[in-house]
Amino acid sequence: MHPPLSEPASLSLLLTWFRRVEARVGRTTGTDPARGMGALWSQERPPEEGQPTERSRWQAMARQLLTTVLFLSVLLGSCVLFIYIFWSCRPRTCDTPVCRRLLDHYLKSGNISVAPCTDFFSFACGKAKGTLAEEIKRQLQRILESSGSWHPGSEEEKAFQFYSSCMDTDAIEAEGAGPLRHIIEELGGWQISGNWTSLDFNRTLRLLMSQYGHFPFFRAYLSPHPSPPHQLVIQIDQPKFDIPLGQELEQKNYAQILREYLTYLNCLGKLLGGNPSKVQEHAYLSISITSQLSRFLRPPGQQRTQGKLFQMVTIDQLQEMAPAIDWLSCLQATFTPMSLSPSQLVVVHDLDYLQNMSKVLEKQLLEHRDFLQSHMIFGLVEALSPALDSKFQEARRLLNQKVRELTEQPPMPTRPRWMECVEETDAAFKPTLAAVFVRETFSPSTQSAAMELFTAIKDALITHLRRLPWIDEETQKKAQDKVTQVQVTMGAPEWALKPALARQEYNDTHLRPSYLQSFLSSVRSRQARIIQSSFQPSPHHRWKVSPWEVSAHYSSSDHMVAFPAGLLLPPFFHPGYPRAVNFGAAGSIMVHELLRIFSQLLLPGCCQACDNRAVLQCLENHYAAFPLPHGISFNGSRTFQENVADMGSLAIALQAYKNRLLWHYGETTLPRLDLSPHQLFFLSYAQVMCREPSTQDSQDTHSPPSLRVHGPLSNTPAFARYFSCPRGTLLNPSRRCQLW
């Protein structure tokens, strides 16, 4: 090999080679090399030179022809390349079975005859029937009714037999109230049936709490401590009464509701063979006790305002403050095998209520001990009604119907028996049913694709945080760090992905000939599992969300987000869907949950470094201006934080989708819809909100479904651009709020 030339030597050699070429060209064309490159292309001849020869003219023409051919070749090649790139990047039609099913779902649920710029909710959801949660319950029904071959005595077989027992209404009707009467006798009976044994009040209460999972006067449960390090601790909370709070209703409505409850309790007493006159008397006193206790209940918001969300006290201190309850014996029986002592600390959520409750009970124990016994049994019968025959369930249905009418709530739709049995099997055999569900519906490839989507969403959010003008640089950095450090569980927890863990859960669950007895066995087994989890290291890290749930969860104590498989199934997500669908539906849900990490930044007055007061006020006015369906109420202050999160979920999911298109070509779309990928993105976003407005819960912190669609879309210029919405239409307003 020759040694490398120095820079001057290399340049000299190059110039020498160039002159030789120039001289050779000059000899061919008759030009002078000394005149340089300019002469090579000059068309002028000095006067002393003669006219060009015939040969030189042909050579010039050949050069021009060659130049033209080369130019046209380059032009043609560029056109071909441009057409290839254009057709390669152009969305292809997805005609796979999974896309055809999605297309069918969109066509059945939407109403494409509606103008999208004036009512996109109806455009996307105008014919929607049912919800994703209902569809997943149908999947569980199909699994539980399949003729699977299960190992005799296995936990899978127990779950399937439990469901079959629940569905065997003929056997339940044949048993009637017999199994329930037997339970009442074990508790000492009650006077309305004539065979009452005056037992100790706290003994009956211990049995109800430990054997039947029924808490008539307060709730006691294991839950992570409200403050770090969030260890599991016994918590004492207000009870949940079926009767609405009197302070929330007009006096005449509240009185009528009490009369409806009195009618219901009379019906229960008669179904259990009680003497009509005694039933009436005991039912009345039971309603009186509930009414007295309900006067002391305070909504969580009021507790928060008064700074009394929880207090730490010992069991001994609690005994002094509320002496009517034998706290140590009742809690010890309920939370066996935990070893409790008088010095054991517990979390109390409303000490004032417990003190007032104790006074009411002390008075009843002195004057009406037998009525107090009947009150506790009435409550137990109500709690067990799902496992009783049709007469008890019909009485409960009529009560619910009357109460909803009096509280001006829409009627509840009639639920089929299979749906109730699916829910009871879920509660009784959650780990086993979860393992089967994951195996049947959620493949490793789906989990991998969902994690890829989450990574794209998280990266877009981190980048987006740097661009927010209303928070300072330090706050931006802290917010980015929190998003970066968040942990995620995708699809299902470890115990659902490893069936061996689930099989260890149900050694103490015993199926009985009576469905009611099987039901109670499952209640005791479930309570024992919860208590046993407290002995495991870091028990609060154990994800208790069912894989089929359709709502994501963020745990501030664990700094972890969980996205159940129910959210990552069609029609919200599938690895074979167009990217627009996955980013618009599942992607926006992921953003919404991630925004909970720093939700306090979005509350007025909670972030001193945030200059967002004007834009937050703009958003409040923006939502208040939207029309709502007839009969649907809207509380802007209650839903404000969710409205802000809805805005962010759409904006950031859209940015993540654009980022993906920038680096990954080959997008697909659905046939027959005539929607571009971006239009499909917005359609899939709206599909997440498809549900009947009448199902809106008065205490729901989300806005009505139509407002959850129209609010964010109207604040997104890209939506108006892709759907060509005229200026001034509902979804292309003249003014927008630039929060995200």
pLDDT tens per residue across span 385-406:
889 999 999 999 999 999 888 8
Confidence of residue 19 (pLDDT cuts 50, 70, 90): low
Share of residues in the chain with pLDDT > 90 (%): 45
Q: What is the pLDDT of residues 465-479, one digit of tens each?
A: 888 888 888 888 888
**Quick check: 50 pLDDT over 90?**
no
**What span, in angstroms and rounded, lies between the C-alpha atoms of 738 and 322?**
53
**Quick check: 192 pLDDT over 60?**
yes
Q: Is 213 left (phi over 0), alpha (psi -120 to 50) or beta?
A: left
Instruction: Examine the domain organization and report whether 470 and 376 are in the same domain.
Output: no
Residue 178 belongs to some domain of the structure? no
Pick the range with the lowest mean pLDDT from 332-346, 414-428, 499-513.
Answer: 499-513
Q: Are 349 and 236 in contact (CB under 8 A)?
A: yes
Q: Compute CA 272 distance to the chain's CA centroid, rounded to the nearest angstrom.
A: 42
CATH code for the domain in which residue 637 is found: 3.40.390.10
Residue 666 belongs to some domain of the structure? yes
Task: Find the mean pLDDT for residues 480-505.
Answer: 76
Confidence of residue 581 (pLDDT cuts 50, 70, 90): very high
Instruction: Examine the domain organization and report whether 399 and 458 are in the same domain.
Output: no
Kindly list the catalytic residues.
593, 646
Residue 154 belongs to some domain of the structure? no
Confidence of residue 630 (pLDDT cuts 50, 70, 90): low
Residue 46 belongs to some domain of the structure? no
**What span, in angstroms and rounded, lies between the C-alpha atoms of 94 and 113?**
23
pLDDT for the residue 63:
76
Q: Give the number of other Cβ atoms within 10 Å of residue 666's Cβ.
A: 11
Range(s) of the domain holding residue 380 = 199-408
**What span, in angstroms and rounded, lies between the C-alpha atoms of 377 and 367?**
18
pLDDT for the residue 473:
85
**Quick check: 341 pLDDT over 90?**
yes
**Quick check: 516 pLDDT over 70?**
yes
**What span, in angstroms and rounded, lies between the C-alpha atoms of 121 and 714?**
12
The torsion angle over the Cα atoms of residues 20, 24, 25 and 26, rounded to 10 degrees, is 100
Confidence of residue 44 (pLDDT cuts 50, 70, 90): very low
Boundary (domain end) residue, out of 386, 408, 430: 408
Q: Are 731 and 720 in contact (CB under 8 A)?
A: yes
**Quick check: 625 pLDDT over 60?**
yes
**Quick check: 651 pLDDT over 80?**
yes
Instruction: Examine the domain organization and report whether 385 and 468 are in the same domain.
Output: no
pLDDT top residue among 574 and 48: 574
pLDDT top residue among 200 and 691: 200
pLDDT top residue among 228 and 211: 211
Instruction: Examine the domain organization and report whether 592 and 680 are in the same domain.
Output: yes
Instruction: Examine the domain organization and report whether 666 and 611 are in the same domain.
Output: yes
Instruction: Examine the domain organization and report whether 257 and 334 are in the same domain.
Output: yes
pLDDT top residue among 374 and 37: 374
Closest to 515 in 3D by CA, of 393, 382, 419, 386:
386
pLDDT for the residue 666:
77
Residue 264 belongs to some domain of the structure? yes
Instruction: Examine the domain organization and report whether 616 and 699 are in the same domain.
Output: yes
Closest to 622 in 3D by CA, of 634, 605, 607:
634
Q: What is the pLDDT of residues 96-119, one digit of tens each?
A: 999 999 999 999 999 988 999 999
Boundary (domain end) residue, out of 383, 408, 433: 408
- pTM: predicted TM-score of the whole model, two decimal places: 0.75
Q: Are 98 and 576 in contact (CB under 8 A)?
A: yes
Instruction: Examine the domain organization and report whether 115 and 209 are in the same domain.
Output: no
Instruction: Examine the domain organization and report whether 302 and 224 are in the same domain.
Output: yes
Confidence of residue 498 (pLDDT cuts 50, 70, 90): low
**Quick check: 366 pLDDT over 50?**
yes
Pick the range with the lowest mean pLDDT from 350-354, 663-667, 672-676.
Answer: 663-667
**Quick check: 27 pLDDT over 90?**
no
Instruction: Examine the domain organization and report whether 311 and 365 are in the same domain.
Output: yes
Residue 57 belongs to some domain of the structure? no
Closest to 159 in 3D by CA, of 415, 417, 436:
436
Q: Are 120 and 713 in contact (CB under 8 A)?
A: yes
Pick the range with the lowest mean pLDDT from 157-161, 238-242, 505-509.
Answer: 505-509
Closest to 248 in 3D by CA, of 288, 289, 295:
295
Boundary (domain end) residue, out of 408, 428, 458: 408
Task: Find the mean pLDDT for residues 714-724.
Answer: 96
Instruction: Examine the domain organization and report whether 582 and 653 are in the same domain.
Output: yes
Residue 19 belongs to some domain of the structure? no
**Quick check: 7 pLDDT over 50?**
no
- As for how many domains the chain has, the answer is 2
Question: What is the SS3 assignment for 27?
Answer: helix
Confidence of residue 81 (pLDDT cuts 50, 70, 90): low
Confidence of residue 537 (pLDDT cuts 50, 70, 90): low
**Quick check: 451 pLDDT over 90?**
yes
Pick the range with the lowest mean pLDDT from 130-139, 148-157, 283-292, 366-375.
Answer: 148-157
**Quick check: 542 pLDDT over 60?**
no
Confidence of residue 123 (pLDDT cuts 50, 70, 90): very high
Task: Find the mean pLDDT for residues 515-529.
Answer: 88
CATH code for the domain in which residue 221 is found: 1.10.1380.10
Residue 433 belongs to some domain of the structure? no
Q: What is the pLDDT of residues 214-229, one digit of tens each?
A: 999 999 998 888 777 6
Instruction: Examine the domain organization and report whether 712 and 614 are in the same domain.
Output: yes
**Quick check: 83 pLDDT over 60?**
no
Q: Give the number of other Cβ atoms within 10 Å of residue 418's Cβ.
A: 17
